[in-house]
Amino acid sequence: MQSTPDPVTVLVVDDEKGIRDGSERIISRMGCHALTAKNGEEGLAIVGRTDVAIVLLDLKMPGIDGMEVLKRIQDLDREILVIVITGFATIETAIEAMKRGAYDFIPKPFEPDQLRIVINRAREKIWLKNEAAKLEVARRRTLADLGTEKSRIHTIIDSIPNGIVVTNVDGQVVLVNPAFCRILARDVDTTAGGQISAYIPDEGLCRLIVEISSGRHVDFDDIPTYEFSIGSDRFLMARGRPVLGERKECLGAVVTVIDITNMKVLDRLKSEFVAKVSHELRSPLSTIHEQLALVLNDLMGQLSESEEHLISRAKEKTQGLISTIGDLLDLSRIESGTTCQEPKPVQLEDLLSNIVDFLGTRARTKAQKLSIDLPEEPLPTIKADPLALESIFGNLITNSINYTQNGGEIVVKADITGINLRVRVIDNGFGIEARYLDKIFDRFFRVKNDKTRFITGTGLGLPIVKGLVEALKGQISVESVPDKGTTFTVLLPVD
């Protein structure tokens, strides 16, 4: 693709000879072909017989005025860009001309640089329009053509290191690149034409690709990534997207496949390292914490105020480190898939009521109202790990207490929606800015502002909650408005 606009033909229509001659010299030096006309009739005649791309048009001329010339040029060819030349006394007229279709205007008297700028801008617009037309022609190629055409696009796809497979609306493969064959351990000479199930050994992924191909997932955000394994030691991740036509109809799907085996190994090593280090640190820290507590109790009244403050602070910090280590161990267990114990029947109303009663004391210390709102009809019993559920809702309610001002209100609501139990933890606290909503489930991330900077925490509570919810095959989402409050919603499958 070229980086500079093509030379074009520019017509200058002005009754002043000095304007015509000066403009012609400047335009010619820009590498463009310049034509001149002393009035509207002559200019229209040139436009009728010559391929003119840009017209510099004076609005005030004897005979046909510039506004009428503009109208006739548009009738002849609406692709011609008309730049109005106007004196300061006719600025309003120039604006009116632009409303009627003129591309730009330049006031008299103008400097050579001003003319160059406006001409170059018009040339660039023409070039971009031509390039867009070329791209539109390329876009009209059908997906099936991509499978057989030895084109530049095909060459690029073949050279991409990620695996790519393209299907039509029936889930039939129309294109596969060599990287896909290599990652899936297939013959590099594998050709298109078969159903997707003949190329990918995972039934769940094939079903997802067929759904995308047939147009069941038109919202890109609604399409999950899919992880699967080949054998016991190779892990792959696939991401599919629908290919949409001119009228937003689904033409098929494009799926990328990457090998994430090394990332899985790295994650396992990282989790093992974190777990080992955490185990090694927790015991000595617990000993230090107990000894500091013993010192405070035994020497109560014998220490100065500053000494007592220092030891108290050290005790608080060791407790914070112990909590962080506990959270890290929880995360390691979540990643290893060993966090959730054998599921048991759980009556969610009882579990939530117990948590609310237990945390009510903490809420009352901040003069907050913590309540629970349950439906009249009993909720169905679910099978889940009770300890995981206690951790999920205990963390969410504690967060709401911490991030809600004194005298605020927190409500825990539970109901049934579709095939899921829904639990919402709603507060009218500090809220979260929209730019942070996609980060709050990241490890160690904490929202820091004037209202929250004194709130202590590890930044691991919400990542733990998200990991536990996903381990229970559930979903968690958040809605928040700064200074209005936050709502965390947890959906848990009934079956």
Per-residue pLDDT of the chain (495 residues), as tens digits, is: 445 566 889 999 998 888 889 999 999 998 899 999 999 899 899 988 888 999 998 888 888 888 888 889 888 888 899 998 877 546 677 778 788 888 888 888 888 888 899 999 888 888 888 888 887 766 665 555 655 555 666 777 778 888 899 999 888 998 888 888 888 888 767 778 888 888 888 888 999 999 888 888 766 666 778 888 887 778 899 999 998 887 888 888 999 999 888 887 776 766 666 666 666 666 677 777 777 777 777 777 777 778 777 887 887 777 767 666 666 666 666 665 555 556 788 888 899 999 999 899 889 999 999 999 998 888 888 888 888 888 889 889 988 998 999 999 999 999 988 788 999 999 999 888 888 888 888 877 777 766 766 676 667 778 888 888 888 888 999 999 998 999 999 999 886
Q: What is the pLDDT of residue 410?
A: 94
Dihedral pair phi/psi, residue 190, rounded to 5°? -55, 130
Tell me, yes or no, if the pTM score tops 0.85: no
Q: Mark residue 83 as left, alpha or beta (left: phi above 0; alpha: psi -120 to 50; beta: remaining).
A: beta
Options 3.40.50.170, 3.30.565.10, 3.40.50.620, 3.40.1410.10; CATH of 344-493? 3.30.565.10
Q: Find the helix or strand (DSSP H, E) in which 79 lies.
A: none
pLDDT (0 to 100) of residue 473: 84
Could you tell me the CATH superfamily of domain 9-139? Response regulator (3.40.50.2300)
Q: Are 48 and 81 in contact (CB under 8 A)?
A: no
Residue 326 tokens read as: 């506990």
| CATH hierarchy code of domain 143-259 | 3.30.450.20
Question: What is the SS3 assignment for 35?
Answer: strand
Do 428 and 456 form a contact (C-beta atoms < 8 A)?
no
The whole-angstrom separation of Cα 4 and Cα 31 is 12
User: Is omega for the bond preceding 109 within 30 degrees of 0, making it cis?
Assistant: yes
Give Cα 98 distance to the centre of its chain. Answer: 38
CATH domain 263-336 topology: Helix Hairpins (1.10.287)
Judge contact between 413 and 423, C-beta under 8 A.
yes
Contact 166, 174 (CB under 8 A): yes
Cβ-based neighbours of 22, under 8 Å, separated by 6 or more:
112
Crossing angle for the helix pair 386-402 and 461-471, nearest 10 degrees?
150
- Asked if the domains at 263-336 and 344-493 fall in one CATH topology, the answer is no
User: Rounded to an integer, what distance in angstroms lies between the CA atom of residue 404 and that of residue 401?
Assistant: 5
- Ordered by start, the domain boundaries in the chain are 9-139, 143-259, 263-336, 344-493
- Report strand pairing: 9-13 vs 33-37: parallel
Quick one: tokens of 68? 């009428």
Query: In 432-480, which residue ranges form alpha helices assigned H by DSSP?
Result: 461-471
Chain position carrying tokens 């007229």: 93
Nearest-Å Rg of the Cα atoms of the chain is 35
CB 370 within 8 A of CB 363: yes
Residue 287 tokens, joined: 């000993």
Please give the full DSSP string across 142-202, using - where no structure is assigned: -HHHHHH---HHHHHHHH-SSEEEEEETTSBEEEE-HHHHHHTT--TT--S-SBGGGT---
Lookup: tokens for 362: 């903490």
Phi-psi region of 224 (alpha: psi -120 to 50; beta: other; left: phi over 0): beta
Measured at the alpha carbon of residue 19, what is the angle toward residues 15 and 23, in degrees to the nearest 5?
125
